[in-house]
Amino acid sequence: MTLPGDGDGGRGGFTLIELVVALAVAAVMLGVLPAALGRLYDAMEYRSTVRNMLTDIKAARLEAVRSGQAAVFTVDLEGHRFGVGAEPAEKIPEKLKVRAIVADTEIAPGERAGIRFYPDGSATGGSIELERPSGDGLRLRVDWLFGRVSQEPLGG
């Protein structure tokens, strides 16, 4: 049964206007998507770098305590790398600015900065700063007395 004024005989469909609006919305979404994905990727890369750096700093302390010999966490500021030992292997994304404040005795040629951990758990102390292009970032601070690692936002 058809109702009065129902001229299409009960068939459903979309009008040309509805299709144009749907295509316009899809085009806008496709235009915004790459920028959003780029920001998401940068955020994931930043968090991964911070997490890996924190893990390596703690691993250097643990290695020193376990082995009974000093262990060094190294940041290659020129090569944008970090890791435990003299040859850092982990890559720091080029978009991040890296700064290190360490003891004078732990600055090596080639813009390498180190934080040395001793078997008793203490360290030479220092901090590593990672700054994003937006200006915000994080400071990883190593306490010299106990070798504990803390995180704080830059500017804090």
Per DSSP, which regions of the chain are E strands?
Answer: 71-76, 81-84, 90-91, 97-102, 107-108, 112-117, 126-131, 137-142, 149-153
3-state secondary structure (DSSP) of residue 61? helix
- Stated as kind and residue range, the H or E segment containing 25 is helix 16-67
Identify which of 78, 101, 94, 91 has the alpha carbon closest to the alpha carbon of residue 132.
Answer: 94
Classify residue 65 by burial, with Cβ atoms within 10 Å: 0-12, 13-18, 19+. middle
Name which of 19-28, 47-56, 124-133, 135-144 the model is least confident about.
Answer: 19-28
Q: Is pLDDT above 90 for 67?
A: yes
Percent of the chain's residues with pLDDT above 90: 62
111 versus 69: which is more confidently predicted?
Answer: 69
Q: Which CATH number fits domain 16-153: 3.60.15.10, 3.55.40.10, 3.40.1190.20, 3.40.50.620?
A: 3.55.40.10
Pairwise CA distance, residues 156 & 151, whole Å: 10
Residue range 116-136, pLDDT digits in tens: 999 999 999 999 999 999 899
Name which of 12-26, 50-64, 90-104 the model is least confident about.
Answer: 12-26
Domain definitions of the chain by residue range = 16-153
pLDDT at position 59: 96
Instruction: For the chain, give the mean pLDDT.
Output: 89
Percent of the chain's residues with pLDDT above 70: 92
pLDDT at position 30: 78
